[in-house]
Amino acid sequence: MILIKNRGTAYLYPDDFKEGENMTDKEKALKAVEALEKEYPEAVCSLVYDEPLQLLIATRLAAQCTDKRVNMVTPALFEKFETAKDFAEAEVSDVEELIRSCGLYKTKARDIVAMCKMLCEKYNGVVPDTIEELVKLPGVGRKTANLVVGDIFGKPAVVVDTHCIRLTSRLGFHEIKDPVKIEKILKNLLPPEKSNDFCHRLVLHGRAVCDARNPKCEECCMKDFCNYYETNKK
């Protein structure tokens, strides 16, 4: 067996393991985790928040909008509405006014108020800590639920966003676009305690290097084991 150390965690590979060749997807996933950990030691969510409810709302606002824009909007929003009860009792039009620049603001405002009404009615105003409960809230999908469960409650989570879909496909873990199926595939490949940070790092790498249209493969820390590089750039 070959011992490979990954930030204090040791992984055992079969004797016939060769770097960059004949890797199983699990072995490749560990190499990707390791490479991105070195490249991006800080794996932080780019949305600014102080508490679970704020992350839940910021994530809803981030749909088809940049995190940067959301971070410009949320300080005034969270100053006016501090608790789930505040949002639950708000006029949807008042929320709309404060989030207008995020796009889709009518749907997002309606979802946020409805979500907070349910939080107050069923969860005593407290954000639940399981994916199963979170996805019952209006406007909350698996991506948001995973983000909250991982970042707030420190549980294993796989946040499948556009960067995750693109990068994991290019690396060769799948050829699909269905986020639920990709979440399942990645859950089977990634060490649970690494999965949440790995997804944050995929976003950072997707923005900095693995661009959708023009990936900078020559400077990529994962090119030695990336299917896309092997096929298109070598």
End-to-end Cα, the chain, rounded Å: 30
Does 217 help bind ligand SF4 (rule: CB under 6 A)? yes
Structural tokens at position 60:
């809803």
Contact in structure between 161 and 143 (CB atoms under 8 Å)? yes
Q: Which is nearer to ligand SF4, 83 or 169 (CB)?
A: 169
Q: Beta strand 2-6 with 9-13: parallel, antiparallel or unpaired? A: antiparallel
Residue 234 C-beta: closest distance to ligand SF4, Å: 10
Does 228 help bind ligand SF4 (rule: CB under 6 A)? yes
Does 204 help bind ligand SF4 (rule: CB under 6 A)? no
Does 170 help bind ligand SF4 (rule: CB under 6 A)? yes
Does 222 help bind ligand SF4 (rule: CB under 6 A)? yes
Residue 65 C-beta: closest distance to ligand SF4, Å: 24
Give catalytic status of residue 86 as yes or no. Answer: no
Q: Which is nearer to ligand SF4, 84 or 217 (CB)?
A: 217
Which of 167, 202, 203, 204 binds ligand SF4 (CB under 6 A)? It is: 167
**In terms of Cα–Cα distance, which of 55, 68, 53, 54 is closest to 102?**
68
Q: Which is nearer to ligand SF4, 93 or 214 (CB)?
A: 214
Does 226 help bind ligand SF4 (rule: CB under 6 A)? yes
Residue with tokens 């199926």: 181
Which of 77, 132, 229, 231 binds ligand SF4 (CB under 6 A)? It is: 229
Give catalytic status of residue 143 as yes or no. Answer: yes
Chain residues in the site for ligand SF4 (CB under 6 A)? 167, 170-171, 209-210, 215-217, 220, 222-223, 226, 228-229
